Chain A
Amino acid sequence: MSDFLPRIVGFLCNWCSYAGADLAGVSRLKMPPALIPIRVMCSSRVDPLFVLRAFLGGADAVLIAGCHPGDCHYQSGNYYTRRRFALLQRIFQELGLEVDRLRLAWIAASEGVRFKKVVTEYTDRIKKLGPNPVKKEIFL
């Protein structure tokens, strides 16, 4: 299992986290190639259905990244994201689904290093968890 490379679907907000990822890239920071980035205009654009679809489609984890609270390009989008994420987490817990496979992270445009840290740490954590068992569920 040591050569298992998770596939993490990452929803990155255009203004902070995507720029943070870009900065990590141009700074040539090294990190595991596990994250599949999807750029969204705001983390609050992420309908929980997107997350479910990725999760049920066999993604090993789903990361939502946005601007730090107070820094949203649209003033308050990420506060809504935060509530929705809390609800999603709660529903996963109550249904006995693996809540560790969902993650929310605030990453600013200047935080290339933090982006690298989040991706590296989360990849390690998912490696320990192993592949998403949903992948093996045929009759979803």
Chain B
Amino acid sequence: MSKPLDYENLNENVKKCQYAVRGELYLRASELQKEGKKIIFTNVGNPHALGQKPLTFPRQVIALCQAPFLLDDPNVGLVFPADTIARAKHYLSLTSGGLGAYSDSRGVPGVRKEIADFIERRDGYPSDPELIFLTDGASKGVMQILNSIIRGEQDGILVPVPQYPLYSATISLLGGSLVPYYLEETANWGLDIVNLRESVSQARSQGITVRAMVIINPGNPTGQCLSEANLKEVLQFCYQNNLVLLGDEVYQQNIYQDERPFISARKVLMDMGGPISKELQLVSFHTVSKGYWGECGQRGGYFEMTNIPPKTVEEIYKVASISLSPNVPGQIFLGLMVNPPKPGDISYERFVRESKGILESLRRRAQIMTDGFNSCRNVVCNFTEGAMYSFPQIRLPPKAIEAAKKAGKVPDVFYCLKLLEATGISTVPGSGFGQKEGVFHLRTTILPAEEDMPPIMTSFKKFNDEFMEQYEDYRGYSRM
């Protein structure tokens, strides 16, 4: 008799969902690492794993919060600066029993207030702490919101292609439908309203009710920063089509060009004024995992709701309460992120030095990688305007595609596996993010240490150019 957890009896939605970031390539890389091969993991936006140091100030504060008995020790000042001690006391006073007590299911009220204040400073419009919910990482928040929206497979969510596969995986798990809208690679991964409209009509003609639109700004894996004009168009589009906009803004601190600084969807909405600013439903997501903080392991994130009806907010609160509360240390990291040391604080100089150091280096690495990829045969790479990734297009020759087919692999997986075996560089094939038919990419992060970048790019170029040599016709690359 077959058992409930036999493979054939599993929830189909689980079987269907895919999350390539920790999929086949990653598993193979882990195997090789176990065998002793040196692997450079560029598959996940995981800065500290590639040598980025944590910022000192938050770690000092959190250590004191973990061990409050230190605060009474006369020698604590020998190891911890006074402003970290004050800050630890501040956050402990905001909790209802220290780090070890469940907080309010929406997060510690005092921290939510700090986040609201940050949003107001950033955007110039007040934000309501009651509409800010903290979560164990932004991913959990995304899942909670999508879970509220998706009723069944007739509900569609507009998702950019390429996209961060949290969206496709979650939509799959929840039994909804992903409605893709293609970003324009030749226009620097720009968002074209015409594409959007087409995607929506196509979905509707298939009987799908399109309910929400996801934008990832700055983009992942594509890195593009949306212009204000583009954001306005998107907001108008959502308004006209009765969609809730889900603004994944986790990379808002990672901006590597000056033409398009980060502007939040909420700010643009509020700037527009009028009925749209009071009616367009928006949920915005942020995290401590990215930016210059890179504190992925803390699992700290939040979402902010705009124009969501109070009764819906209550339901979302109810579901949050089933998991009791997000982890408290992660919440404190969020508070620290939105409320860093100020000029005059003892820790200010060091904090600025550390943060600037990281951001400036990321900017340099974004350039090194883009240029490096562009110097390779059959590789074209848009500049990484923001976020943490490079997403070069690999123009695979027909013979390579054939060889992939023979090996039973998707072409970009085939390429990435060969890259891994030859160089130890572990990437994520573009198919994991979605791409136009017949166009192949890979995603790598810009996170390896700056001094490691040149040898990595050299190693890549050697592999790539040899690969292209091997699989090209004598007559050079020909289109399929």
| A and B interact physically | no
Please list the residues of chain A having a beta carbon within 8 angstroms of any beta carbon in chain B: none
